[in-house]
Homo-oligomer: A and B are copies of this chain.
Amino acid sequence: MNFKSDNESPAHAAVLQALLDANEGRATAYAEDDWSERLNQVFSERFETDCQVLPIATGTAANSISLAAVCPPWGGVLCHQAAHIQNDEGGAPEFYTDGAKLVTLPGQDGKLSADALAAAVDGAGAHGVHNVKPSVVSITQATECGTSYSIKEVQAIAEVCQSRQLPLQMDGARFANAVAWLGCTPADITWKSGVDLLSFGATKNGAVTAEAVVVFGHPDWLEALHRRRKRGGHLLSKMRYVSAQLLAMLDNDLWLVLAAEANARAASLAEGIHQSKHFSIHWPVQANEVFMQGEPAKLQWLKDHGASFHLWPGHSDLSRLVCSWSTTDEEVDAFLQLLQRAR
């Protein structure tokens, strides 16, 4: 009953097979191999538009490099106060942007609201060079709270961005889970809704280590992205092995199949928690994460009886349960039975 993180899951067999398949013969180094060069086409087909894809090993790097490509050092990155880039990346966005400021906003269910965003942008730069300049907006899909922005919500944010000439970046570490839950196309929730840059996550979703920066339009951003990826030490010499994972994920929409599995487990968990006596659901479950509230002693009791999960930072009565593609119905059932016995 390990619900600590989807990062703890193994890789899917198809991804490993892709690694083995990619291991034939020599390949040009530094992302000039056949696998890497196929990414643009494969992603463009799946996203129904021309897009540019930079494979990369971690989500932190994907986010930071993306933000740095569009935000000057004197800029501000507007994001939710619970954002991963703000709380969990050890200052990587500040590092890659050479010192930009993350301007954080509150917002219900882990989401930025378009209105609050508009007010913040309009107020933030009022004193010219004395203030940091609002320069890019970053949203997380699915959010850190396990919720997913609807198409309408993304569109409303994008309108705020466009009217103020701000790029919109999407941290998609759990993008697959959001798309699977929304039931929309990846195009619908990204470029068709106004997203300019996507960190496409595959690692949590069944890869060994594979993420991608996906750029919709904006050929003028590519130099900075490529230069900063190299400069960050993220241009792997044997990039074929990362790209092969991404190709395997897109093949037959494995990425959505695996995400749907994880989401289904989370939905089952949520249903069981909802029916339990001592525990309740804190945020709507709209992806693969379940935030379960309960008395600290009861949460501890669960841990003492074999359930693994994290507490939400700063909260002794709020737990985070994450399902992955490898979470089984048996694990969910065992956990729900444990809930019944909790005292």
A contact residues vs B (CB 8 Å cutoff): 2, 4-5, 7-11, 16, 19-20, 23-30, 57-62, 64-65, 72-74, 87-92, 94-102, 123, 126-127, 129-133, 203-204, 208-209, 224, 226-238, 241-242, 313-314, 326
> Which residues from chain B contact A94 at a C-beta distance below 8 Å?
73, 94, 99-101
Residues of B close to A242: CB separation below 8 A: 209
- Whether A11 contacts B29 in the complex (CB less than 8 A), given A129-B227, A231-B74, comes out as no
Contacts of A5 in B (CB 8 A): 29, 237
Contact between B231 and A88 (Cβ–Cβ < 8 Å)? no
| Bound form: Cα–Cα A328–B209 in Å | 31
Known: A90-B130, A94-B101, A99-B98. A203 touches B314 (CB 8 A): no
Nearest chain B CB to A276's CB is how many angstroms away? 24
Residues of chain B within 8 A of A61, CB atoms compared: 232-234
> Which residues of B are found within 8 Å of A65, using beta-carbon distances?
233
Question: Shortest beta-carbon distance, A99 to chain B, in Å?
Answer: 4
A190 and B17 CA atoms in complex are apart in Å by 38
Q: A11 to chain B: closest CB distance in Å?
A: 6
Instruction: Choose from B9, B11, B90, B133 the contact partner of A132 (Cβ within 8 Å).
Output: B90
- In the complex the two chains form, is B99's CB within 8 Å of A227's CB? no
CB distance from A323 to the nearest CB of B (A): 12
Q: Decide if B58 touches A231 in the complex (CB within 8 Å).
A: no
Q: Complex: how many Å from CA A227 to CA B234? A: 17
For A5, A94, A126, A326, the residue with the greatest tally of chain B CB atoms inside 10 Å of its CB is A94
Give the residue of B19, B74, B237 whose beta carbon is less than 8 angstroms from that of A227: B74
Would A132 and B91 count as touching, CB distance under 8 A? yes
Q: A11-B241, A16-B19, A92-B230 are in contact. List 6 more A-B contacts (CB 8 A).
A: A90-B230, A91-B101, A92-B232, A99-B99, A209-B237, A233-B234
Q: Specify which chain B residues have a CB less than 8 angstroms from the CB of A126 in the assembled complex.
A: 313
User: Shortest distance in angstroms between A258's beta carbon and chain B's nearest beta carbon?
Assistant: 15
Closest to A62 in B: B233
B residues near A74, Cβ cutoff 8 Å: 90-91, 227-228, 230-231
Q: Are A101 and B98 in contact (CB under 8 A)?
A: no
User: With A7-B238, A233-B60, A241-B208 given, is the CB distance from A88 to B123 under 8 Å?
Assistant: no
What residues of B have a CB within 8 angstroms of the CB of A92 in the complex?
Answer: 230-233
User: 8 closest Cβ contacts across the A-B interface?
Assistant: A61-B233, A94-B99, A7-B29, A90-B230, A7-B237, A60-B233, A98-B98, A129-B230
Chain B residues with CB below 8 A from A10, complex form: 23-27
